[in-house]
Chains A and B, each alone.
Chain A
Amino acid sequence: MLSMLMRRSALGLITVWLVSIIIFIGVEILPGDACTAFLEREAQGLLLENCRRDLGLDRPAWMRYGEWAANALSGNLGVSPDGQRQISELVGYRLRNTLLLASGAILCGIPLALFLGIVAALWRDRPFDIIVSTTAIAAMTIPEFVSATLLILIFSVWLGWVPGIVLTSSNAPLAEFFPEVLLPIAVLTLVMTAHILRTVRSSVIETLASDYAQMAILKGVPYWQMVIRHVLPNALLPTINVVALTIAWLLGGVVVIETVFNYPGLGRMMIDSISDRDLPVTQAIALIIASVYVGVNLLADLLTMVANPRLRTAHLRGK
């Protein structure tokens, strides 16, 4: 298993490395660079050349990539061209805010999805299941900005319980995000619950129809024992990966939601950086998102491997 773990981690690192190259190339082929952005209209002739020399932009791309990558490895994501501030500091706050949003959604969404999915599967085709399944499909199909707008309309405009927009600055203490953060969390919870719930439901239904579930019944195992010992452990294995994907999506910055609520998270920062041609920031965020994706999926695979006796013991029999 250790060798498996090492191989998977190595593959993950290679993926991140490849992604970093793609990001660098992508930014490289965009017209303009930090100097044209900084100098704006005066970006020509000697001034531009001097600026490029100062920032080292006249060196070949592979050298700059090497420097950028080496700095990124040591946590130094470069300096923003405008305020001369450390990008890592700017991004750090945004990452924290996104984490707040994501962890709120994860803490509400996963238990809710598991509970609703399992109950809907056990009560398949009964009114509860029909209501839950229909709601889930609705939650998945209605675009997030529509459901977000609806929730704002209901909870802040009509009922006036929570503010409909976040005005807290990005580096404020976390406590100041309450209660504004609750509405975006609610929207995200809705969407992710719907996704996970549907996987859980179909996986539990499939497992209930399995030969071993039928065998458990015919062996005289009481219903709830059958569900808890024989069905759920096997049914929930495939949901690990779906949960991981959803978490990666949440941490990767949920652009639409952050924009609707004016939430100072990673996603909005990325959009802003792209429209401002703030390329080092774009690169930094893209790298973070890629790492999160790889990391979370790696974690999910490892978890599946630990939880599944088939995978756990496969290597023992191999050689």
Chain B
Amino acid sequence: MTTPPKSNGPIVAVDGLSVGFRSRAGAWLPVLRDITLSVGAGESIGLVGESGSGKSTLALAMMGYLKTGLHVLGGRVDFSGIDMFAQDRQSLEKVRGGRLALIPQNSGQSLAPNLRVGAQIGEALRLHSALPEARHAARVLDLLTQVRLPDPASIARRYPHELSGGQQQRVAIAMALAGEPEALLLDEPTTGLDVTTQAHILELLRDLARETGLAMVYVSHDLGAIAHVCDRVAVMYAGEVVLEGTAAQVLRDPSHPYARGLLASIPKLSDVCLPRALDGRPPPPGGAGDGCAFVARCAIATERCMVERPDLSRLADGAKTRCHLPQQVRSIPLSGEHNAQRRQLPVELSLSLEDLAISYARIGLLERLTGRDTAKVATVEGIDIVLRQGETLGLVGESGSGKSTILKSIAGLLPPLHGQIALRGQDDLPPRVEDRCAKHLRDVQLIFQNPDESLNPRQTIAQILAQPLKLYFGLSGQALIARTTALLAQVRLGAHYLDRLPSQLSGGEKQRVAVARAFAAQPVLVLCDEITSALDVSVQAAVLELLDDLRRENGTSYIFVSHDLAVVKALSDRVAVLYQGRLCEIGPTVDVYGPTAHPYTEVLLGAVLEPDPDFVPSLSASDVVELSPPACGCPFQRRCPKRLGAICDQTEPPPRTFATGHTIWCHRDDLAAPLFS
């Protein structure tokens, strides 16, 4: 291994960089404005901001790469003394993937589907490594071992689609390491991964940085991940760096209103309240005007902020902020308001699931003809859940745990193998949605994760909202218009949205329309399937607040599915933890998140990253993805850090119920271990 000569200056230096595109009218609209930033050897810097803030564009610009249509309007980017935008293609090809490597956001789509992953890592070696060709195969295996993939020889022979999301991400890291880089750019490397997988990947990146002295630029909207990996943090807003400082300066008590709003909008496990929404949306490129870009959403803005753009100025503690009022900033709260104590819920039942079992395996014609053995282990089994009116039940678990499957079954989209689904305690729902009467359909509404796909792009908001009103209530004419307007007002949108198409709305607004459509039916039960996962944190906080308000106004029950344990904690009265389609634990939120927990819940909670630089996650189990539950015994037996022995493998764990109605399915009777020590 040869180490290139290291200069004393920064590895990556961005100096006054502005990047923009030309609008149809011919004006240049900036996407990045006057960015100055440097990364030293062995340093890791985090770039945070909401979608559209320009953080990914900045990271790619550090490689001398701009997406089609974007141009450098001013400034420069130097990578260890090389001006990246003044290089020809060949010298860029030498640097990219070699001394400066990228780990992309979505490895599943960033790995070529036609090449085995070993070949793709081998390609990076061929392009950038000094090793003789004959040793490449062995080096590929070394790299896969270095990123802690089990059985590297078998992984190397697989195609990307044969790997799980976490494994794909590790392959991408191995590929980046193949060129022996001096600096790594990470573009949202853990977005879309399960909490446990994310925690393991971040752990790996931290160790790599420590071992190899790599400089890292870590782009993410996830302040928890940033806090865990980065020494310094730059907060971006509308194409500008608005705050830069050490992780502690930025994440503890930031001196910019946007950073404070962002922090307050993140649900935290340590909080006992809903996060505080940050209203409004950032200006479009070129729409920032003369004043501060954040002025429209700022709680402390003054006359001066409207007309004069603040400079990035250094504060006494060394942090840099782009704000005229760094003294007054501290008055902006960093967390949401505290909720009232536990709510008193009515005793009337909303939904009861009795011994529900669901399987995706369908018995095909061929199997029926040949009489082949079709007995398979069900995807979801033994689900007994009772939901009271006005109650919110959070469903958590890693991907593949059966959360969405249960929702589909309740909605009638996936008939269960056996078991009962009953509304209001006595009203049995037919298993198939086709067999349900209008009343049943009205009572159960489903909101999907991605409003882009669940709203018809050709219909106006008025048409979208009118459908359930016509169908269930036969409304028409003035009454219909009045009701749609009222619904929009309920989700805090004005009547001027009625004539718009979904494509003219932001992500958060679209999801509000989806919520309004669900509430148009005046349902008893609303099923929320990861409805905030595709949204920015500030928007997510607003949707959570909205759901909470609507519940208070209408007395609706929710089943809230999410992989984000902090979000579930913020909203839910009770939480059910699922693993491999089996219940591990169910009970009041404070108890499930409390010290007495199922080992799996403990593993999940231990992997959650809080936006606090001193917070250390506890990784107690592997992040191996299991494709099917074990044939017998406890579903979590293979990954459990507190496994007792043969009893876990052979006997199904008995439910253990505590006084508060908290039930845990585990063989251990010493579960009262303190979680946060």
Inter-chain contact B112/A220, CB cutoff 8 Å: no
Inter-chain contact B109/A222, CB cutoff 8 Å: no
Inter-chain contact A221/B109, CB cutoff 8 Å: no
Q: A7 — nearest CB in chain B belongs to which residue?
A: B366
Inter-chain contact A220/B162, CB cutoff 8 Å: no
Inter-chain contact B114/A234, CB cutoff 8 Å: yes
Partner of A218, one of B96, B162, B366: B96
Contacts of B114 in A (CB 8 A): 230, 233-234, 308-309
Inter-chain contact B109/A211, CB cutoff 8 Å: yes
Inter-chain contact B110/A215, CB cutoff 8 Å: yes
State the CA gap A230–B160 with chains docked (Å): 13
State the CA gap A211–B160 with chains docked (Å): 13
Within 8 Å of chain B (Cβ to Cβ): is A313? yes
State the CA gap A7–B367 with chains docked (Å): 13
Chain B residues with a Cβ under 8 A of chain A: 60, 63, 65, 68, 89-90, 92-98, 101-102, 104-106, 109-115, 123-124, 127-128, 159, 161-162, 175, 179, 366
State the CA gap A223–B92 with chains docked (Å): 11
Inter-chain contact B112/A234, CB cutoff 8 Å: yes
Inter-chain contact A223/B112, CB cutoff 8 Å: no
Partner of B115, one of A219, A229, A313: A229
Inter-chain contact A215/B104, CB cutoff 8 Å: yes
**Given contacts A211-B106, A310-B159, is CB(A218)–CB(B112) below 8 Å?**
no
**Given contacts A215-B104, A310-B161, A313-B162, is CB(A220)–CB(B175) below 8 Å?**
no
Which of A210, A212, A222, A233 counts the most B-chain CB atoms under 10 A from its CB? A212
Inter-chain contact B113/A217, CB cutoff 8 Å: no
**Given contacts A229-B115, A309-B161, is CB(A219)–CB(B63) below 8 Å?**
no
Inter-chain contact A317/B162, CB cutoff 8 Å: yes
Inter-chain contact A212/B102, CB cutoff 8 Å: no
Inter-chain contact A220/B127, CB cutoff 8 Å: yes
Q: How far is the CB of B87 from chain A (nearest CB, A)?
A: 12
Within 8 A of B (CB), among A176-211: 209-211
Which of B90, B105, B113, B162 counts the most A-chain CB atoms under 10 A from its CB? B113
Within 8 Å of chain B (Cβ to Cβ): is A256? no
**How many residue pairs bridge A and B at CB < 8 Å?**
78
State the CA gap A308–B105 with chains docked (Å): 24
Inter-chain contact B123/A223, CB cutoff 8 Å: no
| Residue tally, chain A, CB below 8 Å to B | 24
Inter-chain contact A210/B162, CB cutoff 8 Å: no
B interface footprint on A284-313 (CB within 8 Å = 1, 0 otherwise)? 000000000000000000000000111001
Contacts of A219 in B (CB 8 A): 96-97, 101-102, 123-124, 127, 175
Inter-chain contact B102/A220, CB cutoff 8 Å: no
Q: How far is the CB of B235 from chain A (nearest CB, A)?
A: 25
Inter-chain contact A222/B93, CB cutoff 8 Å: yes
Inter-chain contact A220/B98, CB cutoff 8 Å: yes
Within 8 Å of chain B (Cβ to Cβ): is A43? no
Which of A7, A218, A309 counts the most B-chain CB atoms under 10 A from its CB? A218
State the CA gap A217–B106 with chains docked (Å): 16
Inter-chain contact A220/B111, CB cutoff 8 Å: no
Q: B627 — nearest CB in chain A belongs to which residue?
A: A317
Inter-chain contact B161/A220, CB cutoff 8 Å: no
B interface footprint on A218-239 (CB within 8 Å = 1, 0 otherwise)? 1111110000011001100000
Q: A312 — nearest CB in chain B belongs to which residue?
A: B159
Closest 3 CB pairs of A and B: A220-B97, A219-B97, A220-B96
State the CA gap A77–B63 with chains docked (Å): 68
State the CA gap A310–B110 with chains docked (Å): 15
Contacts of B105 in A (CB 8 A): 211
Contacts of A221 in B (CB 8 A): 93, 97, 123, 127
Inter-chain contact A230/B159, CB cutoff 8 Å: no
State the CA gap A222–B92 with chains docked (Å): 10
Inter-chain contact B111/A218, CB cutoff 8 Å: no
Contacts of A216 in B (CB 8 A): 112
State the CA gap A216–B110 with chains docked (Å): 8
Which of B63, B110, B124 counts the most A-chain CB atoms under 10 A from its CB? B110
Contacts of A229 in B (CB 8 A): 112, 115, 123
Contacts of B115 in A (CB 8 A): 229-230
Q: List 17 A-B contacts (CB under 8 A).
A: A7-B366, A212-B110, A214-B110, A218-B65, A218-B97, A218-B104, A219-B96, A219-B97, A219-B127, A220-B93, A220-B124, A220-B179, A229-B115, A229-B123, A230-B114, A234-B113, A234-B114
